[in-house]
Amino acid sequence: MSPPRIALFVLCAVVPAIAYRLGGASLWYVFAAGYGAAAALSLFALAQDGQLRAALLPRAGDATVALVPAMALFAAVTLGVTKVLAPIPLLRVCGADGALIGIAQTHGFGAFTEWLRDRSCAAFGHGSAMQGTARAAFVITVAGFEELAWRAGVQQALGERLGSTRGWLVASVLYAAAFLGTGNASLALLALPTGLAWGAMYRFRGRVAPAVVAHMVFSWALLCNNAPFVVRGSL
């Protein structure tokens, strides 16, 4: 594997952990800078292989391919939060470090949903220092860089070695594993199905544009427009 692709893999592996540990506004700066560098390495590798134009060129139908899965995943996450994790609106109010209100004496499935709700709250709260237009701009930018890095970079490299289907599946697992490095498993649980979805677009469409659009729309809806959790400093 070439040095640029080795650097790409390293960046993709460490950026989520570093960003999450810093938290606040720094989380978004590290994500943008780290994934921006990884995206540049990905584009460089594609150009060296003569595949840059083919990977980036959008085509008819890309918008539909992107928007339908993105909104379906957003609906599934929202329903999961509002109907399973936090059916009472007050339970969706989060602090910077997790859920503000706990559910006492949970066991079995209830204990799992309470743990997942708390970890999901912490994930939302960790980057809450940046809000408004700046937050939306960073969310959309990071989503685009992430797809260029992971799908057009990591998945492309693995596909060349393992075959396109195995490359897609292995890249999706690595994508989720990278978010395990944050110490917040809820991020990895979200990254696995979304990574599989965005990766499938690259695998079966052969271009990164649908995955970029889908990831941007999903992230904007989940983190900016209709976020299922509300982050507050106190009740």
- Express each pLDDT in 176-201 by its tens digit: 999 999 999 999 999 999 999 999 99
Q: Is the pLDDT of residue 118 over 70?
A: yes
Q: Is the pLDDT of residue 235 over 60?
A: no
Q: Cα separations (Å) of 199 from 12, 38, 146, 152, 208? A: 15, 17, 12, 9, 9
- Residue 233's pLDDT is what? 58
Q: Cα separations (Å) of 117 from 101, 114, 185? A: 10, 5, 11
Model-level pTM greater than 0.85? Answer: yes
Q: pLDDT tens for residues 40-75?
A: 999 999 999 888 888 888 888 888 889 999 999 999
Q: Is the pLDDT of residue 208 over 50?
A: yes
- AA letter at 203: R
Averaged pLDDT, 146-156: 97
104 or 230, higher pLDDT: 230
Query: Rounded distance, CA 159 to CA 170, Å?
Result: 9
Per the listing, tokens 């921006």 go with 36
Per the listing, tokens 């649980």 go with 189
Lowest-confidence range among 47-56, 147-156, 174-183, 213-222? 47-56
Query: Rounded distance, CA 86 to CA 79, Å?
Result: 10
Q: Cα separations (Å) of 7 from 16, 42, 157, 177, 230? A: 15, 10, 12, 17, 37
